[in-house]
Amino acid sequence: MKFVNIGFGNVVNIDKIVTVVSPDSAPIKRIAQISKSASTLVDATFGRKCKAVIITDSEYVVLSSLTPETITARIEEAKDE
């Protein structure tokens, strides 16, 4: 089991990640809003601007203040180890 740091010491299991996307589009904002009302939203931004939305296979949605590119690079590094 490998984990990726998504900022501020928070980690997500790499095997559970389905996608990492930018939060700018309306459908992604809607997904985040729906998961918030369903209590499956994890806000790991620590009050900073959300720059990435991570969707997991267990239908949890994780908000991160790191960019999708940074998170993707960290995932690739972790997979190579």
The ranges assigned to domains in the chain are 3-80
| pLDDT in the model for residue 10 | 97
Structure tokens at 10: 């928070």
| pLDDT in the model for residue 81 | 82
pLDDT digits (tens, 9 = 90+) for 31-73: 999 999 999 999 999 999 999 999 999 999 999 999 999 999 9
